[in-house]
């Protein structure tokens, strides 16, 4: 993000590689940079957008930044503000120019082919101007007035190339070899972004109403721009959750978008079992998800096989009946003889 320009700042000084004039009311997209043009599965696509406020005030505009293949399949999507969340467009002044810098990640399983990067306005915002109006009129004549809004603005194209021996083009992050002190090693990968290393558990037998602790060991495989939430669930085999503790790592003090590549993060949770929980065996499962849509990161096991449900199954925990309260003996009334004076 860049600050408000002075009167001498020109568009030529902004370093715009691909110029354009796409208007959304009084908000104008001046151009964009998309890099790299060639990449491998798992690599990042960096997108820089340049904007100007023609007049103020502006709405708090939001867009979907998408990566789609030739068949129209959506592979990556982020909802973004033009210059990022720290300075929304409704705070801009007339003439302000800003740039927003964003990153999309191509999944590890993306086939080698061209992919388009496009920008789609979130309703009620829509592209304005003569060209957009003509496209919208033609689309309506063909029976689909919304196609212009859905297709958005084509920002550029990237080419995914074949990898050798099926290996990803991303840097391989080795599993830590030192003694981490964890009692239950268990390897899994979440969304090619986080490696699960194992856990500690205070006890695998808990009374209903009691609290048990579980400590999770994570390793960051790449930079993340999303603060994922962790779920720690105690559930029946059918999936009914009887106890849980959800939240950002380290009680919100160290979200995933601050993690450094290769870093090991130790993350502890206290889970309270419902006093009314029926005795029996339950599954202790963990994972990560996006808070805004509840979508879990996909999980693969140590052999690279997908795990259903987007969860890492840690172990089984036995719930014992809550202790029976000891009955309180009834109070006895002591009668003292009346003594006359």
In a domain, 336, yes or no: no
Please check the confidence at residue 230 and state whether its pLDDT lies above 60: yes
Q: For residue 208, what is the domain's CATH number? A: 2.60.40.1930
In a domain, 5, yes or no: no
Please check the confidence at residue 165 and state whether its pLDDT lies above 50: no
Instruction: Please tell me the predicted confidence (pLDDT) of residue 2.
Output: 43
Examine the domain organization and report whether 157 and 30 are in the same domain: yes
In a domain, 178, yes or no: no
Give which of 172, 42, 46 is closest to 112, Cα–Cα.
Answer: 42
In a domain, 239, yes or no: yes
Is the CB of residue 213 less than 8 Å from the CB of residue 270?
yes
Is the CB of residue 76 less than 8 Å from the CB of residue 115?
no
Classify strands 205-207 and 312-320 as parallel, antiparallel or unpaired: parallel
Examine the domain organization and report whether 156 and 229 are in the same domain: no
Examine the domain organization and report whether 152 and 196 are in the same domain: no
Examine the domain organization and report whether 313 and 191 are in the same domain: yes
Check residue 133 and report its DSSP letter.
H
Examine the domain organization and report whether 151 and 197 are in the same domain: no
The two structure tokens encoding residue 60: 């708090």
Is the CB of residue 63 less than 8 Å from the CB of residue 86?
no
Examine the domain organization and report whether 126 and 206 are in the same domain: no
The set of residues, in sequence order, having a beta carbon less than 8 Å from that of 52 and lying 6+ positions away, is 27, 28, 30, 95, 96, 97, 98
Q: Which domain holds residue 99?
A: 11-164
Instruction: Please tell me the predicted confidence (pLDDT) of residue 94.
Output: 94
In a domain, 211, yes or no: yes
Q: What average pLDDT does this structure show over 246-259?
A: 93
pLDDT tens, position by position, 309-331: 999 999 999 999 987 766 666 76
Examine the domain organization and report whether 274 and 143 are in the same domain: no
14: phi then psi, degrees, rounded to nearest 5: -80, -15
The two structure tokens encoding residue 13: 């000084």
The set of residues, in sequence order, having a beta carbon less than 8 Å from that of 158 and lying 6+ positions away, is 34, 36, 37, 38, 39, 45, 67, 106, 114, 115, 117
In a domain, 33, yes or no: yes
In a domain, 339, yes or no: no
Mean pLDDT computed over every residue of the chain: 84
Examine the domain organization and report whether 233 and 303 are in the same domain: yes
Give which of 243, 245, 226 is closest to 234, Cα–Cα.
Answer: 243
pTM: 0.55
* Residue burial 113-144, b: 16+ Cβ < 10 Å; e: rest: eebbbbbbbeeebebbeeebeeebeebeeeee
* Percentage, residues of the chain above pLDDT 70: 80
Examine the domain organization and report whether 159 and 202 are in the same domain: no
In a domain, 338, yes or no: no
Residue for token digits 């003090």? 253
Examine the domain organization and report whether 315 and 190 are in the same domain: yes
Number of domains the chain contains: 2
Examine the domain organization and report whether 115 and 237 are in the same domain: no
pLDDT tens, position by position, 36-57: 777 777 677 889 999 999 999 9
Give, for 18, the enclosing helix (H) or strand (E). strand 18-24
pLDDT tens, position by position, 274-305: 998 999 999 999 999 988 888 899 899 888 88
* Gap between the terminal Cα atoms of the chain: 95
Q: Is-cis flag, bond preceding 191, omega within 30? A: no
Examine the domain organization and report whether 224 and 99 are in the same domain: no
Please check the confidence at residue 63 and state whether its pLDDT lies above 90: yes
Instruction: Please tell me the predicted confidence (pLDDT) of residue 272.
Output: 94
Check residue 128 and report its DSSP letter.
B
DSSP alpha helix (H) spans, the chain: 130-141, 147-151
Q: What average pLDDT does this structure show over 121-147?
A: 68
Strand order in the sheet with 153-160: 38-39, 153-160, 114-121, 63-69, 74-80
189: phi then psi, degrees, rounded to nearest 5: -120, 135
């Amino acid at each position: 993000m860049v600050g408000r320009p002075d009167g001498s700042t020109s568009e030529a000084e902004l370093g715009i590689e691909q110029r354009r004039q796409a208007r959304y009311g009084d908000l104008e997209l001046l151009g964009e940079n998309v890099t790299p043009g060639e990449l491998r599965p798992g690599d990042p696509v960096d997108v820089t957008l340049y904007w100007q406020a023609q007049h103020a005030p502006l709405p708090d505009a939001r867009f979907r930044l998408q990566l789609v293949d030739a068949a129209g399949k959506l592979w990556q999507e982020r909802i973004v503000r033009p210059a990022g969340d720290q300075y929304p467009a409704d705070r801009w002044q007339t003439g302000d120019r800003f740039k927003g810098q964003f990153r999309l990640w191509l999944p590890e399983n993306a086939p080698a082919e061209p992919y388009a990067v496009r920008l789609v306005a979130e309703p009620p915002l829509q592209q304005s101007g003569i060209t957009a109006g003509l496209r919208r009129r033609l689309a309506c004549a063909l029976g689909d007035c919304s196609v212009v809004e859905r297709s958005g603005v084509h920002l550029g194209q990237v080419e995914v190339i074949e990898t050798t021996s099926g290996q990803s083009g991303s840097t391989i992050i080795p599993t830590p070899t030192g003694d981490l002190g964890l009692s239950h090693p268990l390897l899994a990968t979440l969304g090619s972004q986080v490696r699960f290393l194992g856990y500690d558990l205070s006890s695998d037998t808990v009374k209903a109403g009691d609290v048990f602790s579980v400590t999770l060991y994570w390793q960051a495989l790449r930079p993340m721009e999303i603060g994922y939430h962790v779920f720690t669930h105690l559930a029946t085999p059918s999936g009914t959750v009887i106890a849980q503790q959800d939240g950002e790592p380290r009680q919100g003090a160290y979200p995933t978008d601050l993690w450094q590549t290769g870093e090991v993060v130790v993350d502890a949770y206290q889970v309270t079992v419902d006093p009314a929980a029926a005795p029996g065996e339950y599954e202790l499962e963990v994972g990560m998800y996006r808070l805004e849509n509840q979508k879990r990161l996909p999980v693969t096991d140590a052999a690279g096989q997908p795990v259903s449900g987007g969860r890492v199954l840690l172990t089984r925990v036995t719930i014992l009946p809550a202790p029976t309260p000891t009955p309180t003996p009834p109070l006895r009334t002591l009668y003292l003889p009346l003594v006359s004076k």
